[in-house]
Structure 1
Amino acid sequence: MVSLPEELQARETAARQRVEELQAEAAELAVRLERAREDLSRLEITRETVAQVLAELSAAEAAPEARVKDALGPEEASAPHGVGVMAVPPWREGLVAQVLPDMYRDIVEIVADAPGPLQAKQVVPRIGLEATTAKIEGTRGKLKRLVERGWLDEEAPGQFTLARRGPGRDRANSQ
C-alpha cells in the first residue's frame, strides 16, 4: 500500500511536469504568434501600397495632361500609364515637389520644414497617419523611394533630410 505523502509527491511531480510541458507549448505558440503578426503586417503594408499605387495611377490618368507635360520632359510626358510608370519621377534641376503624388509631396514638405533629420516614425503623425508598424514601414518605403529618386538624402540609416542638390534648398512648399 502506498502512503499518502508518497501519493501526494507523485501527483506533485506529475503536475510539475505538465506545467513545464504547457510552458514549452506556450513559448512555441508565442513564437508562432509573432511570426503570424509579422506576416500580417507585411500583407497590410503590401495591400496599402498596392491600393495607393492604383489610386495614384487613376489620379494620374484623370489629371490634365498639360500639367503633367509642363512638369515632366516630353519623353516622360508621353509615356503610357500602367506597367513601368514611375509615380515618383527622378529629381532634376527645375523640377518642383508639386509633380509628386500628394503623399510624397507631403513627405518632402515635412522633411524640408524640419530643423534636422527625421525618422519614418516622426513623419507618420505629421502626414496624418496613425503611428502603427504598418504605417511606419509604408512611410519608410516612401522615404527610401524619395532617396532613390534624388528628392531626399539618408544621412545615416533611417535619418532623412532634403537632398542637398534636391528640390532647391529654398523649401519645397514655398513653390
Structure 2
Amino acid sequence: MTRPDGRPPDPGTWLLDRIDAREHILTGQIEQTQAEIDTLTARLSELSEQVEHLRISRKTLISLAEEDPTPAESSAPPIVSNHPAYQQILAIFGEVGGSLRARELAMALDLPLTRNDIQNLRAKLKRLTGRGILVETEPGLFTQPRP
C-alpha cells in the first residue's frame, strides 16, 4: 500500500479511515435496528389496544349479568349483591364514613385509574344508588344514606 507519489501511507490517516468505515457500518446497523424497534412498538401498541377492548367487553358482559332486571320494591330493605366488588365498595364507604367520587374510590380499592375502570366503578355506584344503598348528593358524589 503506497500513495500515488510512491510514499507509504500515513498510519494515522489509515486508522482514521478504518474508524470512519466502521462507524458508517455501525450507524447503518443502528438505523436498521431502530426501524425494527419502531415496527415492533407499533405492533405492541395494536396488540395492547386489542387486549384492552377484550377487557372492556368482559367487564361489560359481567356488569350486564350482575344487573337485576326487576326493580326492588321501595318497602323492602335494600338488597346488596353478594359480589365481592360490591362488598369491597361498601366496606370502603363504611371506613370513610363520608362522601366519595368514583376516582377516589378507585384509589382506595387500589384499582388502575384508567377511564374504563373508573366508568365501571361509577356504574356500580349508580346501581347501588338505584337500589337505595347509596345516595348521590351531587353529580358524581356518593355517600351512604343517614338513618
Say how many residue pairs are matched. 127
2: CA distance, partners of 1:108 / 1:96 = 18
TM-score normalized by structure 1? 0.47
- 2:70 paired with 1:47: no
Aligned mates of 1:11, 1:32 — CA distance in 2: 32
8 Å Cα contact 1:155/1:161 also seen in 2: yes
* Counterparts of 1:43 and 1:21, CA distance in 2: 34
Query: RMSD in angstroms over aligned alpha carbons?
Result: 4.3
Bigger CA radius of gyration: 2
1:144 and 2:129 aligned: no
Instruction: Report the CA distance shift for 1:160/1:26 in structure 2 as closer, same or farther (over 3 A).
Output: farther
Partner of 1:38: 49
Q: State the alpha-carbon separation in 2 of the partners of residues 154 and 28 from structure 1.
A: 50
Gaps of at least 5 residues in structure 2 are 2-8
- C-alpha separation in 1, matches of 2:108 and 2:78: 17
Q: Which residue of structure 2 lines up, in the alignment, with residue 21 of structure 1?
A: 32
8 Å contact 1:117–1:161 — kept in the other structure? yes
> What amino acid maps onto 2:122 in structure 1?
L
Paired letter, 2:81:
P
Query: Which whole-Å CA distance do the structure 2 matches of 1:8 and 1:153 have between them?
Result: 72
The residue number in structure 2 matching 1:169 is 145
Q: What amino acid is the match of 2:16? A: P
Q: Percent identity?
A: 17
TM-score, normalization by structure 2: 0.53
| Higher RCO structure (Cα 8 Å, ≥6 apart) | 1
Cα 1:147/1:88, change in 2 over 3 Å = farther
Alpha-carbon shift at residue 149 of structure 1 (Å): 8.1
* Superimposed CA distance per residue, residues 107-132 of structure 1 (whole angstroms, 9 cap, x where no aligned partner): 6624643323142523545xxxxx46
Distance apart, 1:18 and its partner CA: 1.7
